[in-house]
Structure 1
C-alpha cells in the first residue's frame, strides 16, 4: 500500500506529533508498504538524511515567539506530492494547517484519509491567546469531519472529540520501545553527577513551553533531599531557570542518552494538562520509574494510580509536591 503521511511536525523536531509520524513511517516500511512524508521545511538541509522514507518539505515560517516550531505555508506542493505518490491512503498526523490542505487534496483526488487527533489545540489557544477555543474546535471538526476515520490516542481524547461533534472516532493506542527504555540502564555515575549528596532525583522530560506548566515543579524544588532534573528546551527555558531554584537543566537529549537519564531517575513528574497521550509517561514507566502526572487526558489511561504512579489534580502545585514527597518518604512505593 502507498501511504502519504501529512504531518505538522517531523524530526528533527522533538514532540509527540513528530515522534508518532516517524514511528508510523518506520512501521509502514517494516511491513512492506511505501510511505511518503510531507512536512514543514526546516533550516537543516540534511534533516532527512536518516528518515525511513522519502520526505517532501513545504515552505514554512517559524511560529512567532516559538521559533523552534515551524508552521507550513499554503502550497500546491501538498496535492502534487500526494498525486505523484499514487497514494492509496492519506494519513493526517495532527492535522491543522498542513493537514487541512492534505485533507482537501485527498478529497479532491478521491483518496481515503485517516486523521489522528494528537494536539489539544483548544487548550493551546486558551494558554497562548486566552480565547479562541471555539474557533479551534470548529477547525478541528472541519478537518476531522471530512476524514473517513479519526484516531484518538486516549480514552479522554476520544470522548473530547465525540463531545464536540466529531464522528467516526476510534481509539488508537501507542507502544513504547522497551529495548531502548528499560530499568537496566540505571547509571550510578550519572546519578552521582546529578545528585552528589544522594538526593532523590525527580525528572521532567519534554518541551519547555507555557502549556507544559513546568513551573509547577517549583514546590518540588523546595523539598529537602530532592533534586529536580529538567530535560528539554523551548521558549520557557530562561524563565524556568529562575523559577526552579536548584534544578539541573540538561537541555535536549535523545536516543540512548535520554534512555539512560530516564532509568536513572527516582520519580518522573509530568506537569502538562493538555496531553492527548503523553509518550514520556510511557517511557518513564518502561524505565521502571514511578510517575506523578495530572489526572486528565492521556495519563488517565497510562498511570494506574497507586500502582505505577500517582495522579494529581491538574494545575495544583501543592498536590504535585505532596505526591513527590509521599514517594520520597516511602521507598517501597517506588
Structure 2
C-alpha cells in the first residue's frame, strides 16, 4: 500500500504529532508498505526529498516552506503551495494520512479529494485550546473558527481517528462524522524500569529526596507553573525535562526545580526510570504520550482529570487524577506518593502492566486496518 502522510509537524521537532508520524512511517516500512511524508521545512527553508538530512529515514520526505508561530518560533506553520498536490501525483497513494491536520492538512485534504484518494484524518491537537491560549483576544470566536476548520477537514475525510474517548466525544459533539478510536503505542523496551540509574539520581537530587519528573514542551498550554507547589514540598525535587518559550519564566517561578532542557534517546529513558513520580499538569492533552512513557518506566502518574489522561490513568491504581488548573491538587497527590514508597511501587507496577500490550506494532496494524477500511468504503482497489 502506498501511503502519503501529511504531517503538521515532523522530526527534528519533538511533539506528539512528529513522534507518532515517525513511528507510523517506520511501521509501514516494516510491514512492506511505501510511505511518503510531507511536512514543514525548518526555519522557512525550501527543502525537498533530495535533502540529505531526510534520506536517513528510509522513505522520501517532502518539505514545504513554513513560517514560525508568533511567540513560539520552534513551531512551524506550513505554507503549502503546490508541493502537496505534486506529492500526491508523484506517489499515487492508496490513502492519504492527515496527521493533526491544520494548514498543511487542509491542503492535503483538498489534494486527496481532487485525486479521488480517501483521506484518514488523525486528530491529535486541540486547536480550539491553542486558539484560546495563543490568541486570547479572539477568545471564543477563535475557538469557534478552529472547530470550523477542523470540522471541514475531518468531514471531508473517509475516517477520523481520535486518540481518546474524550477526543472522540468532542469531535462527535462538534458534528464530525465517522469517528473511530485509535490510541497511541509505547516502546516498553526503550521505556523500562530497568534503566533506573542511581548515579544519575544522585546528580539530580540529595540523598533521600523523592524525584518528581515532568517531560514535555515548556509552552503556555502545558501549564507547568501549576507544579510550583510541588517543587516546594519538603523532601521532593522537581525535575523538568524539555524546552520552549516559557523556560525562562518557569525557571523564575520555580526556583527550587531543576531544569534539564531537551533530552532524547537513551538519556531520556534513563531519566524517566530514575524518577519516583511523574506529574503532567497540561489540561489540553488529546492523548498524553509522556504519561504512557512514564507508566512504561514504572512510575505512578499524576495528571488532570480531563482529556486523554482519563483513558490512561486509573485513579488509586496507577496514579491520581486531580482537578485541572489547580496546583493544590498536584501538591496533595504528589505529597501522598512522596510519603509512601510502597504505594509508589504498587502504582508503578500496575502502570507498567497496563501499557505492556500497547506496542507500536499493535496500534500500527490497527491503523493499517483503518486505511484498508477507508479505501474499501471509498470503493478503492487496495493491494493485500
Per the normalisation by structure 1, the TM-score is 0.98
The CA distance in 2 between the partners of 1:224 and 1:46, in whole Å, is: 51
Aligned counterpart in structure 2 of residue 142 of structure 1, from 149, 152, 155: 152
Aligned counterpart in structure 1 of residue 183 of structure 2, from 173, 198, 204: 173
CA contact (8 A) 1:313 1:319 kept: yes
Give the CA deviation at 1:47: 4.2
- Structure 1 unpaired stretches of 5+: none
Give the CA deviation at 1:205: 0.2
- Residue aligned with 2:42, SS: coil
CA contact (8 A) 1:25 1:52 kept: no
Matched, 1:20 2:26: no
CA contact (8 A) 1:181 1:259 kept: yes
- Residue aligned with 2:269, SS: helix
Give the CA deviation at 1:78: 0.6
CA contact (8 A) 1:38 1:56 kept: yes
Question: Residues 201-220 of structure 1 correspond to what in structure 2 (within 5 A)?
Answer: 201-220=211-230
The CA distance in 2 between the partners of 1:299 and 1:153, in whole Å, is: 11
User: Equivalent residue for 1:58?
Assistant: 64
The CA distance in 2 between the partners of 1:180 and 1:74, in whole Å, is: 35
Q: C-alpha deviations, 1:140-165, integer Å up to 9, x for none?
A: 00000000000000010000000110
Matched, 1:198 2:223: no
| CA RMSD, Structure 1 to Structure 2 (Å) | 1.0
User: Equivalent residue for 1:223?
Assistant: 233
The CA distance in 1 between the partners of 2:27 and 2:124, in whole Å, is: 18
The CA distance in 2 between the partners of 1:163 and 1:316, in whole Å, is: 26
Q: C-alpha deviations, 1:106-162, integer Å up to 9, x for none?
A: 000000100000000011111111211100100000000000000000010000000
Give the CA deviation at 1:332: 1.4
Aligned counterpart in structure 2 of residue 296 of structure 1, from 306, 323, 332: 306
Matched, 1:77 2:83: yes
User: Equivalent residue for 2:281?
Assistant: 271
The structure that is helix-richer by fraction is 2
| Count, aligned residues | 334
Give the CA deviation at 1:245: 1.5
The CA distance in 1 between the partners of 2:52 and 2:135, in whole Å, is: 34
User: Equivalent residue for 1:116?
Assistant: 122
CA contact (8 A) 1:92 1:99 kept: yes
Q: C-alpha deviations, 1:63-95, integer Å up to 9, x for none?
A: 111111111013101100111001111000000
- Residue aligned with 2:263, SS: coil
User: Equivalent residue for 1:234?
Assistant: 244
The CA distance in 2 between the partners of 1:230 and 1:54, in whole Å, is: 35
Aligned counterpart in structure 2 of residue 325 of structure 1, from 335, 344, 367: 335
The CA distance in 1 between the partners of 2:100 and 2:268, in whole Å, is: 25
- Residue aligned with 1:48, SS: helix
User: Equivalent residue for 2:108?
Assistant: 102
Aligned counterpart in structure 2 of residue 183 of structure 1, from 184, 193, 200: 193
- Structure 2 unpaired stretches of 5+: 46-50, 345-384
Give the CA deviation at 1:58: 0.4
Per the normalisation by structure 2, the TM-score is 0.86
- Residue aligned with 1:203, SS: strand
- Residue aligned with 2:239, SS: strand
Question: Residues 80-91 of structure 1 correspond to what in structure 2 (within 5 A)?
Answer: 80-91=86-97
